[in-house]
């Protein structure tokens, strides 16, 4: 019994921190419909500010007020005012991408501005390491005690407030339709701003309370914490606070019990403990009715201007031809420069960009064309790479291994698609995220899969007498794969499947109503997308030749979605631009000092914030802007040359339907 308690009790403070974060998540979700993944980043910022202030000799209470009571709600209010206020009537992808961008950007900004804190002293209420009493001969420290008490009190208070008809009703009405709530006299802006400030306070509190548990303040710790919190929130169905609290504490306790009772050192115990929250999350998502497809749409959505066109508008012939020629010239120059001019490391950069473009194509297909949110594309890429590596060890030619990597990833994609079939929007994203984390922490660690931290080697291919071992030869190989897959995706987009996917993206119910087998289509989309990602991942493995599962962890999945969404998720060109841009910027940033190592995340994180205004992507928007000007100029020149205004009228008419550029 004493042993049992010695495992159980340390789990409670962990669980309380999960519950605290989860309560904040539920609050923002219920008040603004945003699943605030940036929550982990907010907790990180508060913990960092708190520890730095304490290190600089502030009294603890002052540091607490500054970091938790002032800074965190201020950050939350800024996020609501500048960003999420405009996503209230948008779809799940528009709500998710900026949150992901913030999750990635906020830690980089803080790191750049205030540096990193090494160790967190936190004598918040009670002395953290002092033992106050024993339960069944297990010591209870001040830190554990204060975490537990604070959590139960605060979450309980929140539950009471939400139960009250006034506040709870207002919040639920605002999340369903802010406009209709205003018609009923509710101040929608104030309600959602209040919810954001309050939930940010929770994030800050969780960050500061939890800091002593993790010896070093690292943003990835807080992301893992976030996932456990999501699992707790999912247990409560994103609705019930008491269930959320119970779920969070249960999770923390169960993790410690697993760690205690399973034989230590085995992969089962070291893998199961971190994987446990993700398994719970997956089960909760699939089991709870709240996450079923077909969430209510805002009946007042038609008050907003129509969404911008996803397809680029039809252009005047002169401009269309001109832009094609221009793109072709730029692309050829890049290829020629890679082969002839640039130094060796830049040749690697461009090859890497091309390989990355292939992985990004999988996001174009699944998210851009099909409207499905996947946060495990890097895992699919990893599956492809690891398959190629394993097969190479068993003397299978690597060229074949790359293709088989795609096949295995495709199978994995179909398997992942199955449990998501009943889910809609954000829940699909969360389920894929839990799969990615499962792969990171368990699946990829076995000798027969990713071989843990030591990883695998993937040779360069040799087909017949032609060797692709040289960097130029490999560049051509990667380019060949990109062209073939890019053309394939483009053909798919123009064909029946592409139109069905577009229908799926528009409205799943309407797609089903015109006779599309929505379930089959979703499986097909996931399978094809995973296959492309797998081939891309295998090529990446062959490019760098030595890989480990860590090259494909969930953070890459998040970053990939953010990068592609920021640059342009709706076109094949967008994927290629995103891949090359990412590789080039990464190389540029790597030449700077260490403080700017996270500049890349910051750039794309901030770019993702524009997704609310420009879902077509900043680069696509920029191109469209330039082409609009080019059309105006062409028309002007033609008028100057005394040609009749016929073309100009046609151009003007076209813009009427495009909906962009004004």
Q: Are 45 and 72 in contact (CB under 8 A)?
A: yes
Binding to other proteins by residue 184, rule CB under 8 A? yes
How many angstroms separate the CA atoms of 254 and 592, rounded?
A: 44
How many residues touch other proteins under the rule CB under 8 A: the total is 30
Q: Are 106 and 45 in contact (CB under 8 A)?
A: yes
Binding mask 392-431 for other proteins (x = CB under 8 A): ----------------------------------------
User: Candidates 164-172, 219-227, 269-277, 430-438 — which segment interacts with other proteins by CB under 8 A?
Assistant: 164-172
Q: How far is the CB of 507 from other proteins (least distance, A)?
A: 16
How many angstroms separate the CA atoms of 226 and 228, rounded?
A: 5
The CB density around residue 371, as the number of other CB atoms within 10 Å, is 24
Q: How far is the CB of 175 from other proteins (least distance, A)?
A: 8
Nearer to other proteins, 134 or 613 (CB): 613
Binding to other proteins by residue 179, rule CB under 8 A? yes
Q: Are 259 and 269 in contact (CB under 8 A)?
A: yes
Q: Which residues contact 409 (CB under 8 A, 6 or more apart)?
A: 380, 381, 383, 384, 387, 530, 531, 533, 534, 535, 537
Nearer to other proteins, 239 or 318 (CB): 239
**CA-CA-CA-CA torsion for 591, 475, 535, 368, nearest 10 degrees?**
70
Binding to other proteins by residue 318, rule CB under 8 A? no
User: Candidates 296-304, 398-406, 506-514, 604-612 — which segment interacts with other proteins by CB under 8 A?
Assistant: 296-304
Nearer to other proteins, 74 or 169 (CB): 169
Binding to other proteins by residue 659, rule CB under 8 A? yes
Out of 306, 465, 515, 640, point to the residue binding other proteins (CB under 8 A): 306
Binding to other proteins by residue 56, rule CB under 8 A? no
Nearer to other proteins, 184 or 418 (CB): 184
How many angstroms separate the CA atoms of 622 and 192, rounded?
A: 32
How many angstroms separate the CA atoms of 89 and 617, rounded?
A: 19
Binding to other proteins by residue 289, rule CB under 8 A? no
Nearer to other proteins, 36 or 191 (CB): 191
Phi, psi torsion values for 372, nearest 5 degrees: -95, 135
User: Candidates 17-25, 48-56, 86-94, 652-660 — which segment interacts with other proteins by CB under 8 A?
Assistant: 652-660
Nearer to other proteins, 313 or 401 (CB): 313
The secondary structure of the chain in percent helix, strand, coil, rounded to multiples of 5, reads 75, 5, 25
Nearer to other proteins, 177 or 200 (CB): 177
Tokens representing 108 are 């980089």
Q: How far is the CB of 93 from other proteins (least distance, A)?
A: 20
Out of 57, 185, 263, 464, point to the residue binding other proteins (CB under 8 A): 185
CA atoms within 13 A on the CB side of 101: 25
CB burial of 161-192 (b: ≥16 within 10 Å; e: otherwise) equals ebeeeebeebbebbbbbbbbbeeeebebeebb
Q: Is the dihedral of CA 525, 527, 528, 533 positive or negative?
A: positive
User: Candidates 84-92, 101-109, 295-303, 366-374 — which segment interacts with other proteins by CB under 8 A?
Assistant: 295-303
Binding to other proteins by residue 186, rule CB under 8 A? yes
Q: How far is the CB of 385 from other proteins (least distance, A)?
A: 44
How many angstroms separate the CA atoms of 43 and 107, rounded?
A: 10
Q: Which residues contact 116 (CB under 8 A, 6 or more apart)?
A: 48, 217
CB burial of 504-526 (b: ≥16 within 10 Å; e: otherwise) equals bbeebeebeeeebebeebbbbbb
Q: How far is the CB of 513 from other proteins (least distance, A)?
A: 17
User: Candidates 88-96, 302-310, 443-451, 633-641 — which segment interacts with other proteins by CB under 8 A?
Assistant: 302-310
Nearer to other proteins, 186 or 512 (CB): 186
Q: Are 661 and 655 in contact (CB under 8 A)?
A: yes
Q: How far is the CB of 241 from other proteins (least distance, A)?
A: 17
Binding to other proteins by residue 87, rule CB under 8 A? no
Out of 81, 85, 172, 460, point to the residue binding other proteins (CB under 8 A): 172
Out of 169, 321, 510, 592, point to the residue binding other proteins (CB under 8 A): 169
Binding to other proteins by residue 161, rule CB under 8 A? no
Nearer to other proteins, 59 or 652 (CB): 652
Q: Find the DSSP H helices in 115-238.
A: 142-163, 165-176, 178-183, 188-210, 219-235
* Residues within the interface to other proteins (CB under 8 A): 165-166, 169-170, 172-173, 176-177, 179-189, 296, 299-300, 303-306, 652, 656, 659, 662
């Amino acid at each position: 019994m004493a042993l049992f308690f010695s495992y159980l009790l340390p789990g409670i403070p962990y669980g309380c921190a999960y519950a605290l974060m989860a309560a904040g998540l539920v609050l923002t979700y219920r008040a603004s419909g945003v699943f605030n993944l940036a929550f982990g980043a907010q907790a990180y910022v508060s913990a960092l500010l708190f520890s730095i202030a304490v290190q600089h000799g502030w009294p603890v209470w002052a540091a607490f007020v500054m970091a938790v009571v002032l800074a965190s709600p201020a950050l939350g209010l800024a996020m609501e005012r500048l960003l999420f206020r405009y996503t209230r009537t948008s779809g799940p992808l528009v709500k998710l991408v900026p949150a992901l961008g913030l999750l990635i950007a906020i830690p980089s900004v803080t790191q750049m501005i205030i540096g990193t804190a090494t160790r967190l002293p936190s004598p918040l209420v009670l002395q953290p390491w002092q033992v106050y009493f024993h339960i069944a001969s297990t010591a209870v420290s001040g830190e554990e005690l204060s975490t537990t008490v604070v959590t139960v009190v605060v979450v309980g208070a929140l539950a009471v407030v939400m139960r009250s008809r006034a506040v709870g009703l207002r919040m639920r009405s605002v999340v369903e339709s802010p406009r209709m709530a205003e018609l009923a006299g509710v101040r929608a802006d104030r309600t959602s701003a209040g919810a954001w400030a309050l939930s940010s306070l929770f994030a800050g509190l969780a960050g500061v309370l939890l800091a002593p548990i993790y010896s070093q303040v690292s943003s990835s710790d807080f992301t893992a914490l976030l996932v456990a919190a999501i699992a707790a929130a999912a247990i409560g169905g994103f609705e019930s606070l008491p269930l959320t609290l119970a779920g969070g504490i249960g999770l923390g306790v169960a993790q410690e019990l697993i760690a205690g009772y399973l034989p230590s050192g085995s992969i089962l115990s070291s893998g199961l403990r971190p994987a446990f929250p993700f398994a719970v999350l997956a089960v909760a998502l699939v089991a709870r009715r709240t996450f079923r497809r077909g969430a209510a749409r805002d009946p007042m959505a038609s008050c907003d201007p129509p969404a911008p066109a996803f397809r680029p508008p039809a252009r005047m012939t002169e401009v269309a031809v001109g832009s094609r020629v221009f793109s072709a010239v730029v692309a050829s120059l890049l290829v020629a420069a890679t082969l002839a001019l640039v130094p060796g490391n830049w040749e690697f950069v461009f090859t890497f960009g091309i390989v990355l473009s292939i992985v990004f194509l999988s996001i174009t297909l699944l998210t851009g064309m099909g409207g499905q949110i996947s946060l495990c594309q890097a895992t699919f890429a990893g599956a492809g790479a690891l398959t190629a590596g394993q097969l190479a060890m068993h003397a299978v030619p690597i060229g074949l291994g790359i293709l088989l990597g795609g096949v295995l990833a495709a199978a994995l994609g179909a398997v992942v698609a199955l449990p998501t079939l009943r889910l809609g929007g954000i829940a699909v994203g969360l389920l894929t995220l839990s799969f990615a984390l499962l792969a990171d922490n368990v699946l990829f660690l076995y000798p027969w899969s990713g071989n843990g931290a030591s990883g695998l080697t993937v040779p360069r291919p040799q087909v017949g007498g032609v060797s692709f071992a040289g960097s130029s030869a490999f560049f051509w190989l990667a380019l060949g794969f990109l062209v073939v897959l890019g053309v394939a995706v483009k053909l798919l987009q123009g064909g029946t499947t592409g139109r069905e996917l577009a229908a799926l993206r528009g409205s799943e119910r309407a797609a089903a109503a015109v006779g599309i087998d929505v379930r089959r289509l979703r499986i097909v989309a996931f399978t094809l997308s995973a296959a492309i990602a797998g081939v891309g991942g295998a090529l990446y493995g062959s490019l760098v030749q030595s890989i480990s599962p860590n090259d494909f962890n969930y953070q890459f999945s998040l970053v990939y979605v953010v990068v592609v969404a920021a640059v342009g998720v709706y076109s094949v060109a967008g994927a290629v631009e995103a891949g090359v841009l990412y590789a080039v910027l990464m190389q540029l940033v790597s030449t700077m000092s260490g403080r700017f190592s996270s500049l890349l995340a910051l750039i794309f994180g901030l770019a993702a914030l524009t997704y609310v205004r420009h879902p077509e992507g900043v680069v696509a928007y920029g191109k469209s802007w330039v082409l609009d000007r080019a059309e105006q100029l062409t028309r002007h020149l033609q008028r100057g040359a005394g040609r009749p205004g016929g073309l100009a009228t046609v151009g003007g008419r076209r813009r009427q339907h495009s909906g962009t550029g004004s």
